[in-house]
Chains A and B, each alone.
Chain A
């Protein structure tokens, strides 16, 4: 149980275009999902926290108009990187919290974004 999927696993896009990444909880309901960004050889940096049915809470320094997050259902959250630039190239990982299991977060497999 407690499986989180992400799609796509990798994507290459041109500078200026937008990319959407999906995060799904496959066998549990996730009232809260988290989006992290990880640059090579660095730690996971929390970008935003999204709660189902409400607006996401963004961390300081993360542009909410550039990284659009939607958490429309208890099993799906999406991150859209708008007007992508090469510096947005990174490993994006989502995680989800099972509403019936406190504390623990379950991580998706990550999406590697390369902006050319």
Chain B
């Protein structure tokens, strides 16, 4: 089955700096790669996603890149703000099977 690895497990940045989280996946058949933000005790919130026919997608301060050949994808957050502090999960999906990375705890220091 699919195996998703996510790094780093924790990330601390200064407000205004950029943050990058990286994930790799094992199943080349995976074709959908969402990123979720989860605050303590709450549901994961989809923040951006990318499909396997696209290499990069951007939404304001958030961007995701996908390298199908290398089977890795990354989340980029620019101009970070304290409210970006949360746990971020990547996931890889094919049909009904979605697997999550272990998560990255992002702390943005004011």
Contacts and interface: CB of A to CB of B under 8 A. Distances in A.
B93 A44 contact: no
Contacts of B99: 46
Interface in B64-110: 89, 93, 96-103
A109 B43 contact: yes
A97 B51 contact: no
Interface in B38-79: 41-46, 49, 51
A24 interface: no
Contacts of B42: 109-110
Given A49-B96, A97-B96, A103-B32, A108 B51 contact: no
A93 B43 contact: yes
A43 interface: yes
Contacts of B43: 93, 107-110
Contacts of A42: 102-103
Interface of B: 32, 34, 41-46, 49, 51, 89, 93, 96-103
Interface of A: 32, 34, 42-46, 49, 91, 93, 97, 103-105, 107-110, 112
